[in-house]
Structure 1
Amino acid sequence: AQQPASAQAGEGDVVPFPKPRFDVNLEEDVRIPMRDGVGLFADIYRPLGAGDRLPTILIRTQYDKAPYRERGSKTHDGVACQFASQGFTVVVQDIRGRFRSEGVFHPAASDADDGYDTVAWIAAQPWSNGKVGGYGCSALGINQVMMAPQRPPALAAVLPQASGGAMRNRPFGTIFSGVPEFGWSFKWFREKGNQRSQIPPAIEYHDFLQTLPLADMNERSDSFPNDWRDWVTHELGDPWWRQFAFFDENSRPDVPGLFIESWHDNAVNEGIELFNAFKNQSMTERSRRNQYLIISPTQHCESECAQTPYIAGERDVGDVCQDYWSIYLRWFDHWLRRNGQGELNMPHVQYYLMGANRWKSADSWPLPGTSFTPYYFSSGGHANTSNGDGKLSTAMASGPADLYRYDPADPTPSPEAIRTRGDGSAADQREVDLRPDRLVYTTEPLRSGVEVTGPLRAVVYVSSSAVDTDFVVTLSDVYPDGRVYNLQKGVARARYREAYTAQPRYREDYSRPSLLTPGEIYRIEVNMAATGNWFGPGHRIRVQVASSSFPHFARNLNTGGNNATETATVVAQNTIYHDRDHPSHIILPVV
């Protein structure tokens, strides 16, 4: 793979935006009518002296357009003035029902249609050259992806960041494999997803997240009206979800896309899958050939503003700097000014290899030449804790089964340093690895380094004393000095085991859940997202298995009922098998 040139930034700094070329005029609170008569308000930034009809960069936000008026900021809030100072008109809009805009806010409910109408309005203005590009991270990236299959004629390019929550079965990143990503999503609905655009009275989240039931947490915490109850009580197989225009197998975009993802973001794998889906499902060859992907090692929406050295949770991953702003300006200039004429001269895939701490590139994803290699679990029947006898190797699985007790009243905790952010921040796992409800399988120290970059998946053979339970599988890097950093994890809810065999994620069918027969052995696949990590010589590869990672994932109460409305719990005796007939393993993408 090619080695992209890294950007230059001093220690503790970020790569700055290019020097302004134009002064910027701001017109505040322009009302843009939607097809149903609701008005969405926008601020319009215009470069002075750049011309009469200019390309437009559109930012649609639910987090308030007002902070974008801050000039000179190095954060996301500063991009409106910065882009405008390079000769683009920039429109920053409050989405429906948030801040200045009219209507009632419901996450994802109107993003596709409102995005289409806004692009059409921009294209009809006398200051527009008829070309619009989308920009923004998280919810701002999701609404670009949801709008794209509507194919607004003036939409010439999108630049969605952390947009995996646009995928059906991964709505707003709040649900993973049918299990609520609880720790951050409740906080998000309460503080950032309510209908008053205000922060409600403060609560102590650490204690409050322990309470049940999930469904009425909004009311019990004196929050403002929001859609938490609906989103947490409707399981993914419920037809209720079909009201949202999430990206799925029927979506047909027709627009070049530059997808920005990060290894420590909670929906990185779905963002990567969207990159491939835009390649495979676009209407025209022009769109199919012009999809690009950059994967940084940062946490959620931090790629452009990451300081060097970058600390991902607790792990130092080195000099991660990339000249994103020059890349973005070149992207928008290519599609909004030059109509795609000429060459971009950019690899289709750029990714940061953690551990080796350097940027690499490739032509496609998964990376060409990837060997999907099974690493099998083995033990003498006592893999509980890091002091147990669990082994991980490419040799066939062997040994008696491993048992552990999962009590929803005392769940295995999430070891991440930040448990309510919505990312997979790296944190030392040693303390959690000493819990008896966590099985630990580890390789011998590696004689030579191994690059593991690509999608991750585990196959576990299990039984349980309960009719339903979860299985959480984590991949970690064990350093020679004993530190243990999590790379990725996945969760599987036993009742949804039949759904997990489908790829990509939006093809998973959750409409036919099936409870377990206690004591019977089942094969369950666990989607573990994706990573890019170099396991250096002397490092060890570790896989941990438990039945919770709380509060990252909501607890399975093990009753077989509705985990959102119930309060009763059942203790489960869970078993992981690893013999020749039941070879539990993780599949690593070895490059």
Structure 2
Amino acid sequence: MTRSMMTALKAIMITVPLAISSTSIIAEPLEIRVEMRDGTELSTLVYLPDGDGPFPTLVARTIYGPPIIPIGGELYDSSMKLTDFVPSEDDDDDDAAITAGWPLITENGYALVIQNTRGRNGSDGVDRSWRDDGEDGYDLIEWVNAQDWSNGRIGLFGDSAVGVSAALAAAEQPPALDALFLQTTPADPFGTDMAPRDGALRTESLLVQGGFLAFDVSESHIAGRGIDGEEVADLVPAIGGYVQGLFEGLEDPLNSDTWLAAPLGDVPELDQLMPFWSMLSDVSARETFRDETNALGKIEVPTSVVTLWQDTFAQSTFDLFADLEERDIPRELLVVNGTHYDIDDPRIFPEPRMLSWFDHWLKDEPRADRPVVKAATQGNAEFVEGSEVIDIIGVAERYYIAEGELVQTASESSNTFTSDPANPVPTQGGRYLLAASGALDQTDLITRQDTLVFKAAALSETRILAGPVTGQIVATSNAPSFDLSVRLLDVAPDGTASIILSDHLRIENEAKTPVTVPFDMSLIRHQLNAGHRVAIMVAGSDFPAWDRNPQTGASIFESADLQAAEITVISDANGQSYIELPFVEN
């Protein structure tokens, strides 16, 4: 979801119709209905550049409807001010940021095709939340290839949800597709980022995005779900009110009736309208979403990917790049500082990316003179470069959990805290979409009685943490099911504790015996200044980023019963709890 979409949604929660509203994008496109293999017709807009053609073509498929935003740090017109693209903090008008991006494509000699995905914004069919995007994207690429104005050189692009559609289409390997550009895009959105297989769900993404998907569905979708016109009037206030409660509750989830509800997500109207909603409580539906929206291992065309160190989909992006690396698919990776929505800001890019990528693969122009891997460093303005990811990562050093400390020699310790799902530890930064995200201060959390904090010695010199942060926790609990939220912190001399990375783990343990739980916080590049300490904080929740564990063995989506539980983190001869931190010299 783009920043502008969030702003618009906040303003129209209750009154938005569950049907298409027309959108104008400056120029007059060709409006075409393109037929998919099953006969479903999808609303499609075609923008042609000046000239006789045929033209190379860039394609995007969107759940939001046009217009599109600036992509890859590109500016439509270099004479425009950056403020024309990036509204000030007190300016709610995002229109300039989202309308000025697309003409750069046609003015650089490309045809542009934007298609509304199935069941949305005037397209026929039922919106099954990306599960049809592979085949539909394949069909659109082949349709473009057959048009007189197309020269058969075709690229797909997108960011966030639009990028998911592009990745899934590329994973179907349409013969006419030549290249791909993705930014802030999960290649495995449910299996890696939002619904890991251990059972925890990224509720701050799933609930709000799931509710948002109810807006701008087409009349065909509504009919396809067996809902008549009179019923729509009843659905609108219930869905709008619920999504409004989710958005407002993100500001203060510990006092939000919507977020603290148990069972959570009990909204029959959303379940009736949106197939997506079933994955919250239906484990088999969750598996289906994971399997049908996973593009890893399937993309065969040259691919450029862009992410941010605090993007909610960073892990999936890194997994995609590793997959491309392993299979030696032409590729490039740019990692910049910031969170998911910072990608809309052209100022964070070291150079424009998208058009030069497509100029090479679609126009046979020389490949841009830039490294395969380029990454920013959190905490300073430096970029590092390499020909592969291994060139920019350090060597892991193991730190063991002791009594309130992280030490480099194994020792025995046992530390216990009480986790109460009725009073969860709040989300306060990290790689999240809509909850509080980024490198935020955890100072008020590390003093809570329901968190454990382990600090290393203060650094005598500045060091760069660079690479995958992994480790394991040996833990036991008196509950049959419990969670471990493990957060890596940068603690300044004044006590400020900023989050660097985190991982969330769900453990089912009917035997209530000690279990060894590995964690993987993903890649990072972060500067730790002299005098700072690295620390980890362990808690039993990270709310509302992840669904609360009732600690009874039941799911929060099905049960109102919650119970407090004791959780003990152990290091002894039978198993050590530790974290591995990769460092490079400054």
Taking a change above 3 Å as real, the CA distance of residues 463 and 271 of structure 1, as seen in their structure-2 partners, is same
Residue 143 of structure 2 corresponds to which residue in structure 1? 121
- Displacement of 1:57 in angstroms is 0.9
Name the residue aligned to 2:23.
none
Q: Of 322, 327, 330, which residue of structure 1 is paired with 2:350?
A: 322
1:79 alignment partner, SS class: coil
- Could you tell me how far 1:572 is from its partner in structure 2? 1.1
SS in 1 for 2:333: strand
Structure 1 position 139 matched with structure 2 position 161: yes
Separation (CA, whole Å) in 2 of partners of 1:352 and 1:147: 30
Structure 1 residue aligned with 2:48, among 46, 54, 72? 46
* Corresponding residue for residue 517 of structure 1: 511
Which position in structure 2 is the counterpart of 1:178?
Answer: 199
Match of 1:9 in 2: none
2:121 is the counterpart of 1:81: no
Instruction: Describe how 1:117-516 pairs up with structure 2 within 5 A.
Output: 117-166=139-188, 169-170=191-192, 173=194, 175=196, 177-194=198-215, 196=217, 200-201=240-241, 202-203=244-245, 204-205=248-249, 206=253, 207=256, 208-217=258-267, 219=269, 225-235=273-283, 240-241=288-289, 244-248=292-296, 251-281=297-327, 288-305=328-345, 307=347, 320-324=348-352, 327-338=353-364, 342-367=366-391, 370-379=394-403, 390-393=404-407, 395-416=408-429, 421=434, 424-495=437-508, 515-516=509-510
Indicate if the aligned counterparts of 1:168 and 1:247 stay in contact, CA closer than 8 A: no
Structure 1 residues 295-337: Cα deviation after superposition (integer angstroms, max 9, x where no partner): 1111114235155xxxxxxxxxxxx44222xx22110100011
* Residues 45 and 80 in structure 1, CA contact (< 8 A), matched pair in contact too: no
Tell me the alpha carbon deviations over residues 62-97 of structure 1, each in whole angstroms, 9 at most, x when there is no partner.
011246799876335432212111111111111111
Distance in structure 1 (CA, Å) of the matches to 2:421 and 2:344: 39
- 1:105-146, Cα deviation, whole Å (9 max, x unpaired): 111210100010011111111111101111111111112221
- In structure 2, give the amino acid aligned to 1:183: E
* Equivalent AA in structure 2 for residue 364 of structure 1: E
Q: What residue number does 2:58 align with?
A: 57
Contact 1:194 1:226 in 2 (8 A): no
**What letter matches 1:211 in structure 2?**
A
Aligned amino acid, residue 312 of structure 2: N
Is contact 1:419–1:551 with CA below 8 Å preserved after alignment?
Answer: no
- Matches of 2:62 and 2:145, distance apart in 1: 19
CA contact 2:189–2:313 (8 Å) conserved in 1: no
1:572 and 1:297 map into 2 onto residues whose CA distance is 38
Q: Deviations over 1:424-480 (max 9, x none)?
A: 322111011111111001112101122112222220110100111011100111123
- Partners of 1:396 and 1:583 within 8 A in 2: no
- Tell me if the contact between 1:449 and 1:534 (Cα under 8 Å) persists in the aligned partners: yes
Runs of 4+ in 1 over 6 A off after TM superposition: 67-73, 417-420
Contact (CA 8 Å) 1:200, 1:224: kept in 2 or not? no
What amino acid sits opposite 2:405 in the alignment? K
The residue that corresponds to 1:512 in the other structure is none
Is 1:551 matched up with 2:573?
no
Contact 1:26–1:44 (CA<8 Å) still a contact in 2? Answer: no
Deviations 1:250-289 (A, max 9, x none): x4322000011111111201111111112324xxxxxx24
Change (3 A) 1:128 1:187: same
- TM-score scaled by structure 1? 0.80
2: CA distance, partners of 1:67 / 1:148: 20
* C-alpha distance in 1 between matches for 2:533 and 2:413: 23
Structure 1: segments with no counterpart, 5+ residues = 1-23, 282-287, 308-319, 380-389, 496-514
Amino acid at match of 2:66: K
Q: Where in structure 2 are there 5+ consecutive unaligned residues?
A: 1-25, 78-83, 86-96, 219-235
Structure (1 or 2) with the greater helix fraction: 2
Question: Is the 8 Å Cα contact of residues 80 and 92 (structure 1) preserved in structure 2?
Answer: no
- TM-score norm. by structure 2 comes to 0.81
Residues matched between the structures, number:
509
